[in-house]
Amino acid sequence: MARLVTLLLLPLSWLYAGIMGVRNWLYDAGLLTAARFPVPLISVGNLRVGGTGKTPHVAWVVRQLLQLEAEPAILSRGYGRRTRGYRLVQPTDTAITVGDEPLQHFQDFSGTVPVAVSEDRRVGLLHLLTNQQPSVIVLDDAYQHRRVQPALSILLTEHQRPFYTDEVLPAGRLRENRAGASRADVVVVTKCPEQLPPSEQQAMQQQIGRYTRAGVPVLFSGYSYGAPVAVGQQPTPASAEVILLTGIAQPEPLRTYLTSAGYQVAHHAVFADHHAFTPAEIKAVCAQLRPGQSIFTTQKDAMRLAQPALRQVLAGVPVFYIPIEVRFLADGASRLRAFLVSSFQPQAVV
């Protein structure tokens, strides 16, 4: 049935892909202009809608930049926020005012790295450069935003759902044709198992290489999961029995990790990516709790659970998020770090 639906939607996908293709051609031909800025712009994005791990990879890039003694800032669209225009994230902001991912970045770096949101990236960049004066700006989820020209473009694709097996919306989940991978300077295959056979890596490199420019490296990354971090008052989970609450595109890797780590997931409350939880929904999740059980969630979901109305529902409930960090296979970290170093070439404003 799913295959039949895909076939029926393919004509709409071809139409959408054609529109995006014309747009990309106009930029490639110089008929539409991509603005350049006087500091390096590093774009982290994907071809597929959601679930490739942009947030932890942006955080990894920023940490590397800080180690290189750069002064980075992060610019995001602020998906899911209920505000408009440019906004510099402040301690009083919430997921409603800036979006869950920018809020997570702000908290991850304890406010020491400027994080801003703007649906118009040119406007956002000008504000950041004028008022914050960073030495490099990381663009979160800007791969299709052709109005600005990055110094380094990092394309992410998920190990279990690589872009070369997918179709353009609405038949698939791609935002543009697979040929869009030709703009990437580096491709990172994300959410890989720790032991990914070299033969499989080589096969994926060959498939990806059909769409990228010659010589573009393909790196492989996975996740390292940390100990549960308390959202409420209880310092540690009382037992290994948990209720899992997720509103992300791909929750399966987290559930797989929890099982392998010895936790028993008694119930999994699954919501759509960036879902705006309601008090009634959280009350329903809490109703599933049995004595000794805790609610586990993701750090991104925890940003949305911090709304006052939801905090009231969760008062006294043991809630924890599982932090994640990116780990690269083989020499992937050093290779990507070398690209970051080489991107520090100031560009003239156009």
* 141/34 same-domain check: yes
Q: How many domains does the chain have?
A: 2
152 and 263 fall within a common domain: no
Among candidate residues 64, 76, 126, the one with its CA nearest the CA of residue 101 = 76
Q: Each residue of 307-341: b (16+ CB within 10 Å) or e?
A: beebeebbeebbbbbbbbebebbeebbeebbebbe
Residues 284 and 201 in one domain: no
Residue 192: domain span: 2-71+135-223+328-342
99 within some domain: no
Specify if 245 maps to a domain: yes
Rg over alpha carbons for the chain, rounded to the nearest Å, is 21
Measured over all CA atoms, what is the biggest interatomic distance in the chain, rounded to whole angstroms? 64
Tokens 């609405």, located at residue: 170
Q: Extract the tokens encoding 33.
A: 């202009």
- Low-confidence residues of the chain, pLDDT below 50? 346-350
- DSSP structure class, residue 174: B
Q: What per-residue confidence (pLDDT) applies to 350?
A: 41
Same domain for 183 and 49: yes
Nearest to 183 by CA among 220, 134, 216: 216
Token output for 318: 């043991």
pLDDT at 346: 45
Select from 121, 35, 145 the least CA-distant residue to 73.
Answer: 121
Residue 280, burial from CB neighbour count under 10 angstroms (0-12, 13-18, 19+) = exposed
* One domain for residues 155 and 59: yes
Alpha-carbon gap, residue 237 to 268, rounded angstroms: 17
User: What does pTM read for this prediction?
Assistant: 0.93
pLDDT in tens, 232-247: 778 899 999 999 999 9
Residue 312 lies in a domain: yes
CB 172 within 8 A of CB 154: no
The pLDDT of residue 14: 79
Kindly state whether residue 272 falls inside one of the protein's structural domains: yes
51 and 155 share one domain: yes
Same domain, 308 and 247: yes
Q: Are residues 219 and 300 in the same domain?
A: no
The sheet carrying 41-46 orders its strands as: 87-88, 115-117, 72-76, 136-140, 41-46, 152-158, 186-190, 218-225, 324-328
Cα 237 to Cα 199: distance, rounded to the nearest angstrom: 40
At 195, which CATH number?
3.40.50
Same-domain status, 209 and 155: yes
Do 141 and 254 share a domain, yes or no? no
pLDDT digits (tens, 9 = 90+) for 2-32: 566 566 667 787 787 788 888 988 888 889 9
In a domain, 124, yes or no: no
What percentage of residues in the chain have a pLDDT greater than 90? 84
253 lies in the same domain as 309: yes
- In this structure, what token pair is assigned to residue 59? 């955080």
Q: How far apart are the first and last CA of the chain?
A: 50
Q: How many CB atoms lie within 10 A of CB 291?
A: 7
d(CA 211, CA 177): 10
- Please report whether residue 103 resides in a domain: no
Cα–Cα distance for residue pair 277/41, rounded to 1 Å: 34
Beta strands in the chain (DSSP E): 41-46, 72-76, 87-88, 115-117, 136-140, 152-158, 186-190, 218-225, 229-230, 241-246, 264-270, 294-298, 319-322, 324-328
In a domain, 32, yes or no: yes
Please indicate, yes or no, whether residues 251 and 197 belong to a single structural domain of this protein.
no
Contact criterion met (CB below 8 Å) for 186 and 339: yes
- State the residue for tokens 């970045």: 105
Please indicate, yes or no, if residue 216 is contained in any of the structural domains: yes
